[in-house]
Amino acid sequence: MRISWSVARAGRIAAAIVITAACGVSPASHRLEAMSHAVLGQRPGYGPASISMAPNLSAIDRLIWVPGLDDGWDPQGLAIARGSLFVSGYRSRGAWKNRGPCRVFRVEPRTGRETGHFDVPPPCGHAGGLAYAGGGKLFVVDTRTLFEVDLDRAFTGRAPRFRIFRLGAGLKGAFAVSGDGAIWIGDYEEDRPAKIFKYDVAVLDALPDGAVLSAAMASAILPIPSYAQGGAVGRRGRLWISRSNLAWGALERLDPVSGRLEPRYSVPGGTEGIAFDRDGELWCVSEAGARHLPWRYPFFPLIYRLDPARLVPADRPAE
């Protein structure tokens, strides 16, 4: 169903581009207009009529409005589990206020419909990352705290129970990465490289509720570039890192053994959490255009899916 939907939608967009190109309208502009009309989910009641132009749009084949935009929710982390998308975020109470109540939304990827949510208790104030390690366990990473919740109990309508760990010295939870039986917790720095720490779930399982998670418990520690906002483990074990501020975004591959950075790809500004699905396609979420942010930045408050094979590296022109 996913393939036929994508092919049909791609065909409609391609036909529209051909027609408008003949009329003197640029294919890129019309593609943007067509994509703006094809966004799934609940459009917010504010903002411009169209999403903003962004790099590597030709690699993107699905767009979904982030849930809760009208209510002030700002998306941060993204994970995929059991056929659903999960997005974490905080609710801002005013311009540039980047902490508030935390929530995790569940989204159906084919329709863009929100299918549930749960709130994360204090001291969560940013919910910068989400990670799924298998076994029904979802992890929410906040600046100084790691929350673990059982997916089977998270969407019952009752407040779920969390296991909570404090992040010790040298750890700061800016984002998280999903792994097979492990999660990664990444730091954020603007003026220097940061680090990312790998934790095996077996280690977390052995800790009592309320324990302090230390850097020494990590099974691996890697350097990561500045402005890191999210990460995902792709095929061949390559670690992808999303980097951004509101005005620009980029994806870079990191060799997990050598730590060497590979080609850089420009993506929409404000890109935060990223995660690969079973088909090897990369899902991303952008906060650019969240309600509490100024309009001089791009309007792209979307969950989007892209094909990594169609990305054009930043060091060569797009075709």
The confidence score (pLDDT) of residue 6 equals 38
The confidence score (pLDDT) of residue 28 equals 66
Whether this model's pTM surpasses 0.85: yes
What per-residue string of b and e applies to 46-56 under the rule 16 or more CB within 10 Å gives b?
ebeeebbebbb
The confidence score (pLDDT) of residue 258 equals 63
Distance CA 265, CA 206 (A): 39
Structure tokens at 6: 């994508």
Distance CA 120, CA 68 (A): 15
The confidence score (pLDDT) of residue 99 equals 96
The confidence score (pLDDT) of residue 314 equals 82
Cβ within 8 Å of residue 146, ≥6 positions away: 139, 140, 164, 165, 166, 167, 173, 185, 213
Q: List the one residue out of 106, 128, 264, 227 whose CA is nearest residue 185.
A: 128
> Which residue positions in the chain have pLDDT lower than 50?
1-25, 316-319
The confidence score (pLDDT) of residue 259 equals 64
